[in-house]
Structure 1
Amino acid sequence: MHLIVTEKNITARKIAQLLLGSAKERKVDGVSVYEGDDTAVVGLSGHIVNIDFPDEYNNWQSTAPKDLIWANTEMRYTQKKIATALKKLAKEATHVTIATDFDREGELIGVEAYHIIKDAAPAAKFDRARYSAITRQEIEHAFANTVPIDFDLAAAGEARQKIDLVWGAALTRYISLTCGRLGNSFLSVGRVQTPLLALIVDREKDIKAFTPTPYWEIYATFTNGEEFVAGHTGNRFTEKAKAEGIMARLGRTGKVADYKKEPRVEYPPIPFSTTEFIRAAASIGFSAANAMRIAENLYVNGWISYPRTDNTVYPASLNLKEIVAQFAGGEFGKYAQRLLEQSSFKPTRGKKETTDHPPIYPVASARKSEIKADEWRVYELVVSRFFATLAPPAEYEVRNVCVDVNGERFKATGSMLSTPGYRLYYPYGMAKEELLPELSVGQELAVKNAAMDEKLTKPPVRYGQGKLVKMMEDLGLGTKSTRHEAIQKLYARNYVHGNPPVPTNTAFAVVGALEKYADLITKPDMTSRLESDMDSIAEGKIKEEAVVQESQGMLETIFDDLDKNHNDIREVLYEGLREDRRIGKCPSCGKDLYVRKSKKGGRFIGCEGYPECNFILPLPRMGTIIVTEKNCDKHGISHIRIVNGGSKPWDLGCPQCNYEEWQKKNAAEKVTPVRKSSEPAKKPARKTTKKKAADDKGAPLVKS
């Protein structure tokens, strides 16, 4: 029997349909297997084994975090049913093809399955099918041209697993134990996650430290039948008196001192790598994690190519014209037809060219009714980008004018799209068109009005998720497959909230302590070096064990700094975590209000002046409480956001406003309406305790 192993069940079903036509499904230990023509196709569920420490290291109190650096690790089954099914199928197999995703992680998943099957069927022949799209042509070609399993590539993935386990476990335990944050409230630290968090925190520090300064800009509206606005060439004036002096000198007419019309070429974008795709998806409102989740769904359903790629150059083997032709009769028909009218295709190229996967491109024509709304938006983005990379440049007519008004110069620029080129297919990020009127040098213009605007300099902007992914790529943090996951982990650990991500005070505390006393953790240098070493493992230049040991040595150096500054780190962490719970000033006594926990585990806002001051506000029982920067104008209390798993965050707002609103609603519900004689009497409600009734209505957990 020929056994084919894929990464997921949905991929197994698709490949079985493409290779076998009609495949019969049967269950082996509850696992779906698709069979036909002496061939069986089975899907895994990602990793079916995982690396972990032995049980004796699981007790945080009895094992010192530093002891984890050189501790032994072991492999454990995470999907026992699938492992058992593989062993049973292996007994019938003479030929096994590993057909997991072709990247470092996919190769490791395939090698995990290889070892399980090899133990049960040592005489079986093994090979590897590599593909970049789940289409008939691609799959048939992959299985007709199988290659050996790449054990070096898998070793690079395994090295990452071991390194991330040791770094994450040792550092997370150290920081959490230092400040007493255990259980579900532990503080996570990681090799990639922490340098990423430091980027966000350091940016926020710059924003908080920024002091706005005033400046003035002068604008004039000119007319010669058509109006346009021009700005003074001095741009920003930092002295108000100077700007006022210019305003006083302006007359009622101006003269065109310079006027130019010239074409400007805007070149098409490069093909989508994972990073470029995430950046583009972020610009239309998708988080990095959500964009990749949708792209993965589109890939396994046969709509787009493999979405994890660094490549920005289409391989010569890709028949671009044939791909476009698929869309000639579908939703993008008129655009495909327009592209097909070109005499030749000269696709754009980026700087990165790899041989594992092509850039992301559409592999099949979908209709809007066939996929979900959010999937359609991402699919449309991929199709538009692909078309744009094959199209000619766009051309604009640009007009520049300089007008003299009593010796003061004003400039304006306008542009209009003259030749659509690639912009016919890719409108994303397109600037608004504004064309100046036809003018000539020496022409007099009326000054309709002039204005002096006072403005303030603005702080640096926060990094959006697309920008962060690009920065991570440039700094060597993570890989194309893991960068979006690192960002999502910061949200899951409640280090950031909002979009773009805003760091919490806990994030400030952790990064502040580590930057001051163990800054190697927060800088990308070590992580970037290890990423480079893992690339060398994949290329067969370095052994996995050497890189793992190197990382352990790095971590030991870090722990020397941590142990040396233990008390100082604890003090910084305690202060930061305390600040993360501070919500404002008590209206009763003026002392600080904090988010607190009751003895029974409930949460409330209480005054630090307790027991002298017993001011209390209720909080919801479930979800993680995030104290935001926004303050209530009425009460001066910070607004609160509730984050609950993968659900959309709930912006509760000011807790006191929320409580007062509840009191009003509750009071209104207690007013009993007079029943008209024509109305039937209502059945008495089941008797409920006061506490239960209060809880059902969202009442406070404690009395105020």
Structure 2
Amino acid sequence: MHLIITEKNITAKKIAQILFGKGTKETKVEGVSVYSSGDTSIVGLSGHIVNIDFPEQYNNWSVTAPKDLIRAETEMRYTHKKIATALKKLSKDATSVTIATDYDREGELIGVEAYRIISGFKPDIKFDRAKFSAITKPEIDRAFSNRVPLDFNLAAAGEARQKIDLVWGAALTRYISLTCGRLGKSFLSVGRVQTPLLALLVDREKEIKAFVSTPYWEIYATLGNGTDFTAKHECNRFEDKKKADSVRAKLGSTGTVVEYKKDARSDAAPIPFSTTEFIRAASSIGFSAANAMRIAENLYVNGWISYPRTDNTVYPSSLNLRDVLQNFAAGEFGEYARKLLAMKTLVPTRGKKETTDHPPIYPVSSAKKSDMADDEWRVYELVVRRFFATLAPAATWETRNTTVDISGEKFKASGSKLTEAGWRYYYPYGMPKEEVLPALEVGETLKVKKIEMPEKMTQPPTRYGQGRLVKMMEDLGLGTKSTRHEAIQKLYARNYVHGNPPQPTNTAIAVVDALERYADLITKPDMTSKLEQDMDLIADGKIKEDAVVDESQNMLETIFGVLDKNHDEIREVLFDGLREDKILGKCQTCGSDLMVRKSKKGGRFIGCTGYPNCTFSLPLPPSGTIVATNKVCERHGLSHIKITTGGKKPWELGCPQCNFEEWQKKKKEAAAAPGEATTGTATAPKKSAPKKVMAKTGGSDENTAEPKKPAARKAAPKKKVIEKAPEA
């Protein structure tokens, strides 16, 4: 029997349909689906079916010191025992095995994991590899007709990453969490890629907070002799209002055209989609990096687009571009495909990166909008249109620029108009707005119809969007095409960032601040970039896996030397920062800080640090991570909060006091309504459910809608406990 192993069940089913057609027979082995025809069977894994981890004796944080994890032994554990057992049973009758997992580091490692399980059970079995970049009949037929040996070097590079990331993440996370007392679900995560990425966001946030906005003035003149246009003073902005007033005061009622130029500007077509370029484009139309890649993976598995994890920005010569276009000649994109097919020659654009593992991302088959969900269609359409654009000619813009003299002061204006759509006919995303500027002549006199001098304020730098972050990570050598979007998503899951573009929480700022001050090696990309380069060398067979793992352990020991030296200082910075993270504002009763606190029963509430003299408190929902935002309630001076739960959409709760007061009002209205009881817990209107939940579950008495003062007094934590070990 010939056994074919794919990465997932859905891939196995799809490939079986391509290879076997209607003759496919599905059976179950150990509950795992197997697709067969004649003497060939196909089985899908579930990604990694084994995982690397520390032996159980290292799991006790109070027994094993973080530094001891650096050189600790690791072991492989089954994560899907039924699949492993199914592989062994299937291999009994197999004479050859073809690994058909995704062709990249992770896919090759997954395939090698299956190889180890089967060869350990049946050593004499023969293995080979099918490499493909799209799940289509031509590509699958080609891949299985040209099978190659397994690439153990590529798998070793993936395994090195597993080992290095496990040790770095476990040792550093355990150290930081123990240092500030954040244990259990409240642990503080630190990672080889994650932390330098977080530092980029925190450093940017510090720039934003440190920015001091200052006023400036601009002067605009509306001019025309028929078609009006607006010109701006050549000074661009005036920081001195007196100077701006002086210029404005001297301006007369007419201006003279002293310069006018009309030209044509070529607008080059975009390059093919690498993973990074794809994520940047998807981000610009509203998709997070993780969501864009999730959808792209699904489109790939279902045979709509090519493999979405690639650094390549150059179409290989083996890719028949006209054949791809022909797929779309009669579909929903037929108008565009036929226009390109009518061109005598197709000259695609080229990016700077050219690799041989996979082509750039391109559409491999034509779909209807009804074939997929709305979000999938938007991503699919983006890929289709990008492919078309890379084959199209440049666009051409007519540009017009003029300088007008008004009483000795120069005003400038420009305009642009798309004269030849070129690639923009196929790819409308990010289309610049056309600016109208009438035809003028040098020496022409224009009427000054209006002068405006708006006051503006300088703006802080903007936060990094996810698309820009992925590009920065690529430039800095942080992560790979396959892991960068996952690193960003992990920051959300760890509640280190919220919102889009991602904004770091106070906890994230505290962690990065402590590490940048006393162990900045962890927050810099240098070490991580060096290890990424070494893993590339493993894949190329130029260096051994063990050498790179040993190098990473040496790096980590150097880092721990710095951490141990500055342990007390790191602890102090973390405590101060984490305590500040819980302060939501000032108590309007006594002026003390209002903080997120925990009761003895495990509930949480907002309590006053002026306790026991002040017993003011507000309820909070029982679960989810509380994130204080930059928005402050004008009435109560409290930070608006949101409740996050990993990667799910956050609950924007707003001002906790406004929220509570609104619920109280609803409760009284419901209690006063005819036929309603006047005691007990009222049922809030459906749209106010989140408000009711918050109020009902807050405070220290979880069965009472409004927190009772005596209960709040009993539940208030001692001040020294909060200072010693802030809870998550």
**Do both proteins adopt the same fold according to a TM-score greater than 0.5, normalized to the shorter chain?**
yes
Q: Is 1:662–1:699's contact at 8 Å kept on the other side of the alignment?
A: no
Alpha-carbon shift at residue 645 of structure 1 (Å) = 3.5
- Give 1:672 shift: 3.7
Partners of 2:605 and 2:620 within 8 A in 1: yes
Do 2:670 and 2:683's aligned partners in 1 also have CA atoms closer than 8 Å?
Answer: no
Q: How does 1:170-185 map to 2 (within 5 A)?
A: 170-185=171-186
State the distance in 2 between where 1:698 and 1:361 align.
Answer: 51
Classify the secondary structure of the residue corresponding to 1:258: strand
Structure 1 vs Structure 2: percent identity of aligned residues?
72
Give, in angstroms, the shift of residue 32 of structure 1: 0.4
Partner of 1:14: 14
Where does residue 214 of structure 1 map in the other structure? 215
CA drift at 1:674: 6.1
Name 1:513's counterpart in structure 2.
514
Determine helix, strand or coil for the equivalent of 2:464. coil
Offset at residue 406 of structure 1 (A):
1.1
Shift of 1:224: 1.1
- Deviation by residue 1:61-81 (Cα, 9 ceiling, x = unmatched): 100000000000000000101
Distance 2:680 2:247 in 1: 76
Match of 1:584 in 2: 585
Q: Find the residue that maps to 1:400 and give its secondary structure.
A: strand
TM-superposed deviation, 1:237: 1.1
Q: Which residue type is aligned with residue 8 of structure 2?
A: K
Q: Cα distance, 1:668 vs. partner?
A: 0.5
Aligned to 1:142: 143
How far does residue 697 in structure 1 lie from its aligned partner after superposition? 8.7
Measure how far apart 1:701 and its partner are: 2.7
Q: Distance in 2 between matches of 1:99 and 1:621?
A: 47
- Read off the aligned partner of 2:121 and give its amino acid letter: A
1:641 maps to 642
**Residues 64-463 of structure 1 mapped to structure 2, 5 A cutoff:** 64-463=65-464
- CA drift of 1:270 comes to 0.2
For normalisation by structure 1, the TM-score amounts to 0.97
- How far, CA to CA, are the matches of 1:691 and 1:278 in structure 2? 48
Q: Name the CA distance, whole Å, in 1 between partners of 2:679 and 2:611.
A: 32
Map of 1:667 onto structure 2: 668
Which residue in 2 is equivalent to 1:678? none
Aligned ranges for residues 603-618 of structure 1 at < 5 Å? 603-618=604-619
The 2-side partners of 1:79 and 1:646 are apart by: 24
Letter of the structure 1 residue corresponding to residue 556 of structure 2:
L
Partner of 2:527: 526
Q: Secondary structure at the match of 1:234?
A: coil
Label 1:503 to 1:674 Cα distance change in 2 as closer, same or farther (>3 A). closer
8 A contact 2:494–2:646 mirrored in 1? no
Preserved CA contact (<8 Å) 1:312 1:353: yes
Quote the residue 2:698 is aligned against: 701
- Kept in 1, the 8 Å contact 2:70–2:557? The answer is yes
**Structure 2 regions of 5+ residues with no counterpart?**
685-690, 700-706, 709-728
Q: Paired residue for 1:61?
A: 62
Following superposition, the deviation at residue 241 of structure 1 comes to: 1.0
2-side partners of 1:321 and 1:329: how far apart? 14
**Structure 2 SS opposite 1:275:** helix
Tell me which amino acid in the other structure corresponds to 1:220: A
In structure 2, the residue matched to 1:657 is 658
8 Å contact kept, 2:218–2:236: yes
Q: Is the 8 A contact 1:387 1:425 kept in 2?
A: yes
Asked if 2 retains the 8 angstrom alpha-carbon contact of 1:398 and 1:435, the reply is no
Q: Is the 8 A contact 2:282 2:292 kept in 1?
A: yes
Measured after TM superposition, the shift of residue 600 of structure 1 is 1.3
**Would you say the 8 A contact 1:617–1:700 is kept in 2?**
no
Which string of whole-angstrom CA distances, capped at 9 and with x for unpartnered residues, describes residues 384-406 of structure 1?
A: 10000000000000001111111
What does 1:425-574 align with in structure 2 at a 5 Å threshold? 425-574=426-575
The CA deviation at 1:122 is 1.5
In the alignment, the residues of structure 2 paired with residue 690 and residue 250 of structure 1 have an alpha-carbon distance, to the nearest angstrom, of 70
Equivalent residue letter for 2:626: I
Distance 1:322 1:273 in 2: 21
Residue 594 (str. 1) matches residue 591 (str. 2): no
Structure 1 residue 644: deviation in Å? 2.2
* TM-aligned CA distance change 1:600 to 1:692, over 3 Å: farther
In 2, the alpha carbon distance for the partners of 1:411 and 1:506 equals 48
| Aligned residue number for residue 711 of structure 2 | none
3-state SS of the aligned residue for 2:312? Answer: coil
Residues 129 and 142 in structure 1, CA contact (< 8 A), matched pair in contact too: yes
Alpha-carbon distance in 1 for matches of 2:694, 2:9: 44
8 Å Cα contact 2:315/2:350 also seen in 1: yes
Confirm or deny: 8 A CA contact 1:97 1:126 kept in the other structure: yes
> Which amino acid in the other structure matches residue 156 of structure 1?
A
Q: Which runs of 4+ in 1 moved over 2 A?
A: 644-647, 687-702
Shift of 1:105: 0.5
For each residue in 1:86-124, what CA deviation from the matched residue of structure 2 results, as whole angstroms up to 9, or x when unmatched?
A: 010011110100000000010000000000111222221
> Partner of 2:344: helix, strand, or coil?
coil
In the alignment, the residues of structure 2 paired with residue 220 and residue 578 of structure 1 have an alpha-carbon distance, to the nearest angstrom, of 53
Q: Note the alpha carbon deviations across 1:36-71, whole angstroms, 9 max, x for none.
A: 021000000000000000110000110000000000
Q: Hey, what's the Cα distance between the residues in 2 that align with 1:512 and 1:673?
A: 57
> What amino acid does structure 1 have at the position aligned with 2:6?
T
Letter in 2 for 1:226: T
Deviations 1:596-633 (A, max 9, x none): 11111111100011111110001111211111111001
Once the two structures are superposed, what CA deviation does each residue of 1:365-416 show, in whole Å capped at 9, x if it has no partner?
A: 0000000000000000000100000000000000011111111111101000
1:13 shift after superposition: 0.2
Contact kept, 8 Å, 1:93 with 1:121, in 2: the verdict is no
* Amino acid aligned to 1:491: Y
Tell whether the 8 Å contact from 2:476 to 2:529 is kept in structure 1 after alignment.
yes
Quick one: distance in 1 between partners of 2:138 and 2:225? 63
Shift of the 134–674 alpha-carbon distance from structure 1 to 2, 3 Å rule, reads closer
User: In the alignment, is the contact (CA less than 8 A) between 1:25 and 1:33 conserved in 2?
Assistant: yes
Count the aligned residue pairs: 694
Kindly state the Cα deviation for residue 498 of structure 1 after the two structures are TM-superposed. Answer: 0.4
Check conservation: 1:288, 1:465, Cα contact below 8 A: yes
Looking at structure 1, the residues matched to 152 and 383 of structure 2 have their Cα atoms a distance apart, in angstroms, of 33
Equivalent residues of 1:134, 1:300 under 8 A apart: yes
Distance 1:412 1:299, change over 3 A: same
Q: State the shift of 1:455 in Å.
A: 1.0
- Which position in structure 2 is the counterpart of 1:620? 621
Q: Give the secondary structure class of the aligned counterpart of 1:254.
A: strand
Distance in 1 between residues matched to 2:211 and 2:204, nearest whole Å = 11
Query: Structure 2: how far apart are the matches of 1:644 and 1:483?
Result: 21
Deviations 1:170-190 (A, max 9, x none): 000000000000000100000
Contact preservation (8 Å) 2:506, 2:580: yes
Deviations 1:327-363 (A, max 9, x none): 1111111111111111110000000000000000000
Secondary structure, counterpart of 2:613 in structure 1: coil
Cα gap change, 1:415 to 1:627, in 2 (>3 Å)? same
CA contact (8 A) 2:667 2:682 kept: no
> What code does the residue aligned with 2:317 have?
A
- 1:247 deviation in Å? 0.5
SS, match of residue 32 in structure 1? strand
- Deviation sequence 1:119-176 (CA, Å, 0-9, x none): 2222211000000000000000000000000000000000000000000000000000
Helix, strand or coil: the match of 2:448? strand
**Pair 697,205 (structure 1): closer, same or farther in 2 beyond 3 Å:** closer
Is residue 134–residue 302 contact of structure 1 (8 Å, CA) maintained in 2? yes
Instruction: Tell me, in whole angstroms, the C-alpha distance in 2 between the residues paired with 1:513 and 1:625.
Output: 22
